[in-house]
Structure 1
Amino acid sequence: MVQAVTDQNFETETATGVTLTDFWATWCGPCKMQSPVVDALADARDDVKFVKMDIDANPNTPQSFGIMAIPTLLIKKDGKPVEKVVGYHTKDQLNEILDKYTA
């Protein structure tokens, strides 16, 4: 399951382990394509926590990480950003990226 997070709880929810945050907006076409891929990954992997953030409702966190385009996926390990990927990515591409941090 992918949990929705806000500016208020983002740091707490992504402070431990490997996390993937999907930054998105309701008006973003590519975000609508990326969302089911992230949902499928969340169902398939229990070694990564998946969260999503609506950038329109929560502008502070995306700004603090320099998110300029969406969809952007931010991977953190133990609370520290380790990788940022912009644009649509397939399940295989994302699994390959996540495997670098969970192995």
Structure 2
Amino acid sequence: MEKIYTPAAPDRATIDALAGATLLEFGANWCGHCMAAQAPLAQAFAGHDGVRHYKVEDGPGRALGRSYRVKLWPTLIFLSDGQEVARLVRPLQAEPISVAFTQIDT
């Protein structure tokens, strides 16, 4: 599991072409909602080591977040073979995150 939101992000075509399970997490390192979501995310992420995780710093003009119509942080987008399967916005409990992981990590 990635720990820090990074400004460098792949482009949408690269994400769409990914095989397997991927979690896109949009937010910012200074965001209180993002910080509050980290403990339940870490709890739910346990046992899903095969899931690729991109922790993307989002904001105005950031193309990847805009392509997914991200409005609030954190937004978690669960992908299977580049296709969105589940989305969670501002999750504060591990259970819904765990449920979303089961939809992409087989």
Decide which of 15, 26, 29 is 2:29's aligned counterpart: 26
Classify the secondary structure of the residue corresponding to 2:65: helix
1:2-54, CA deviations, whole angstroms, 9 ceiling, x for partnerless residues?
27573335654671211111101133111011123334444432232222000
Which stretches in structure 2 are left out of the alignment for 5+ residues?
none
Task: Find the aligned partners of 1:57 and 1:17 in 2 and give their Cα distance.
Answer: 29
Q: Do the aligned residues in 2 keep the contact of 1:2 with 1:39 (CA within 8 Å)?
A: no
The two structures have a TM-score, normalised by structure 2, of: 0.75
Q: Percent identity?
A: 21
**What is the aligned-residue RMSD (CA, Å)?**
2.7
Q: 1:6 to 1:57 in 2, by over 3 A?
A: farther
1:96 shift after superposition: 1.4
Q: In structure 2, what is the equivalent of residue 87 of structure 1?
A: 90
Superposition map of 1:5-24 within 5 A: 6-8=8-10, 11-12=13-14, 15-24=18-27
Count of paired positions? 103
| Partner amino acid, structure 2, of 1:100 | Q
Could you tell me which amino acid in structure 2 is paired with residue 2 of structure 1? Answer: E
Q: Which runs of 5+ in 1 are unaligned?
A: none
